[in-house]
Chain A
């Protein structure tokens, strides 16, 4: 396929963010990278359907998200067949982001319903507008807004934060404080 240099650059430029999104969706780096690879293959096979001048990143995110949704549904059926073995292996992947200090946050994020999590990530981390996120998820702008709001509220509950001070000291300090208090 003959690829325009600007198209190639735009596709490559979207890869880091696509990976971050994919990891947040499936919680596993290896699976996320497979998901990104499958997304790129699909995108390049259908590059003619990309409208020049529109947002390449949003287009790729849409492909990745749809592919994940259909794969995930399929895999969930497989999991039910194989006694939850697959689900167990997904859960036992600690520290995929590589930083211990994010552990609590990541665990809380993983507990959100998937539609709330993806809306929060798209708007709060990937930097898409509510309109773009609605396009990627194939739903109304108002739906995205309410999902993002609910995601934030639920995260705050899970992390037990009511004010910014509650984010407080890091885990080591907290452990020291806790042992000192006994």
Chain B
């Protein structure tokens, strides 16, 4: 555990620190790509699935 921590610290120390502006731009691109999918909303396939599962549940005798 301690060896792993030391190793991680060493690995972390190696890369040059990214500027805030670069980090911000990378973050923007990442979110733009992700939100592209999020903005597609819930495909019918999934709302139908949940409805169907609920339907079968209601039929089940408790």
Contacts and interface: CB of A to CB of B under 8 A. Distances in A.
B21 A105 contact: no
A106 interface: yes
B contact residues, range: 35 or more
Closest 7 CB pairs of A and B: A164-B21, A1-B57, A125-B34, A20-B37, A153-B15, A16-B38, A20-B34
Interface in B13-62: 15-16, 18-19, 21-27, 29-43, 45-47, 49-50, 53-54, 56-58, 60
Contacts of A146: 8, 11-12
Chain A interface SS verdict (over half): helix
A97 interface: yes
A30 to B, nearest CB: 11
30 contacts: A1-B60, A2-B57, A3-B50, A8-B54, A12-B46, A12-B50, A15-B42, A15-B43, A19-B37, A20-B35, A20-B36, A20-B37, A37-B46, A40-B49, A97-B36, A97-B37, A102-B33, A105-B33, A106-B33, A121-B30, A124-B27, A125-B34, A150-B15, A152-B26, A153-B16, A156-B26, A161-B22, A164-B19, A164-B24, A164-B25
Chain B interface SS verdict (over half): helix
Interface of A: 1-3, 8, 11-12, 15-17, 19-20, 23-24, 33, 36-37, 40-41, 44, 97-99, 102, 105-106, 109, 120-121, 124-126, 142-143, 146, 149-150, 152-153, 155-156, 159, 161-164, 166-167
